[in-house]
Structure 1
Amino acid sequence: MAKKRTDNTDIIELKEGFTRNQSNVSSAITHARTKMTALELKTFYQVSTLIQMNDTEFKEYEISVSEFSKALNISDTNREQVIKLCKRLLRQVFEIEQENGDYIGYTIFSRMHYKSKEQKIAIKFNQDFSPFLLELKRFTKIQQVKYIKSFDSKYAIRFYALLKDYRKMAQRDFKIEALNKMLELPKSYDSYTRFYQKVLKPAIDEINAKSDLYVSEPEIIAKQGKKITEFRLHFYNKSEQMSKDFTTDLIKRFKKWKTFNVFINCYYLTNENDTKPHKIKDIEIDGNYFTLKGGDEYNDSYVIFGTPNRDDFIKKVANGIYYAVNYFYEKEKQEQLPTLAWQDKQDKLREFKNIYESWIKQSIKF
């Protein structure tokens, strides 16, 4: 990124296009109503990767039309399509209902400047939108926006984000009425059968086929008479895919910056059966000999391994980091298990409430 000043405003030039993969947005946005199309949602999440955790204000970003189009898999030769997308994004809103019943609609971008002569686009978020992207305490973490960009359905994008919002859980419950409102669905989708066929099933299939999540078939958990009103989705991270993503990005950064520093502070496991990760503290190069050093609470620096072959060294480091990342993702799955016990307790309370309400209704009749 490079900075230039225009009208006393810093503009960040994205000379290499979008280079970050992670998007952090407020959970309020994940649950908000919006009429955005799949392409508009993809653009929002892609541009949100530019926001960093320590940012306190929005900057203006400038990117070439070709890089912008390539990131979203649209034609950069179709000028009207790109301009039309920019115009639509300026009109789109996220609608958020407050607990007191108040309604607030937020426009997302304050400016989309298509520079015809330079073939560049300048983008800036609306300042009123800052509570949903800046200095977040709780947020939906999308580690790889590429999955969102691979979805054809806007419903797959919305469900993927909703499940990622519960990333430390293993399941999530949904009320059909609330979903219909959130997703701006037609009245006919109040029927679970139609909702499942047109929205839920296609979204689950696409998420399973194209992302780092696996989602089960829905479990029906509540009815009103014969009408299905609530369902549960069980889901889990595909640990191996997420580990591969992390390692691939790391190697890309290494090749781009040509420095071993990208590996420092990563964790390393000797093999897939090892359960004691080493934290990489240093990489020493003595002539043609490469040494990987680790550290822990008992020892500031110790040798993990060394080799005179540079390519072999890089391969072993990458593999060891892959094993470590996979280990932590698998461990995270195990940490989700207590949440299942909590959910069982909630289910029992729900069942008791239903029985109690049914008993009250029967009592009133007599």
Structure 2
Amino acid sequence: MKHLLLLTCLLVSQGLWAKNTNDSLLLKIDKRDQKIIGANKDSKKTLREELEGVFEKKGLVLTDSLWQQIRTVIKTDSEGDSSLSMQIGNSRVKIGILKSGVNYKSDISMKSKPGGVSIESSSKEEVRVGWNGIHVKDGNEEVHVDWNGVRVREPNGAETKVIWGKDSTKTQSKDKKTTLYERKRFNIYIGLNGLTGKMPENVIAIFPSPYLNSDKDLKPLGSRFVSLDFTSAATIARGKKSAIKLGYGFAFDWYNFMFDHNRVVTKTTSATNFQPMFDAQQNVIQLDKNKLTASYITLPIVPHVVFSKQSAIKMVGLGGYVSYRLDSWTKTIEKNNENLTRIGSNFNLNDVRYGVKAEVALRHVGEIFFNYDLTPLFEKNYGPQLTAFSFGFKL
């Protein structure tokens, strides 16, 4: 690369006088071997004899003073390369004295092109000099200098521009990989609950009845679902614009069923039913809040397909989950005096539940989810066969 830049400078420095001379002579001397580069290596001639032969072919004479100048430069102890330039008659003579001794005849070739001169190397190095500027290429690195400024392209595709009179800017390569959507490692699910199924038929004529058809009615905005999810994902297959992944992890779920009536979930010796609360005068107490809460630890498994972050649909997932009940309780607040009552029990709830889970991530909406239990909320023959579901957003 160093030698290419040296030859480039030689070419540029001679650009003006080359047009006004009838002939020119460009020689390269190996400082180490004291031989003309490109000459016969087996020749027994001295360096002066070789120079005299070349000068004679061009109709020139190597004077003693010129030879002494060349000898002085060769003997100079310098780290870099040197050059001499002189005018002899109508001919311009340029002598490069190179310390490295690279065989330029085999490694470097010079070509004349419409836009200027191109110097190419067998080691994938190239220098182009023309009216559109100087372009230097070294493998995957490129440097271009023109009237506008300097542009450097790095091997990783990044490009740095220095504009004359302006600040430098750095841009990334356009052909970088598409950034795909990634599920977060920690998520908060917030949504609403619901219950489906039929209440048992009342076959006993007693008051209060253990079940009514309205017992499953919920306050829509008061029945909330909350989940704290810790998840990871393994890539199954990946393409340029999408990937198939397997999401897994664990979560803590809370079902809050806010009932829209005054009958409270109660566990008896034989089953779980709904019963009203009575005051001292045996009047039914009106409730401002009446809910059943159950908490679970959940293991979700969600295979999903992810797309670009700029896509309208960024992710689609469909999987399942299995949960184990951690705790459950009822909580009531009376309307008249705001007395709060909290009762903890298993209420004959199924300790293990499982179901299906769907998730969709939309660019302008966010992430939405839907859960549907495949197991009933209460144990069979110990409570109404109601099934829970939840839906909402993932934060």
- Normalised by the shorter chain, which TM-score bucket? under 0.3
TM-score, length-normalised on structure 1?
Answer: 0.24
Structure number having the greater strand percentage:
2
Greater Rg by CA = 2
TM-score, with length taken from structure 2: 0.23
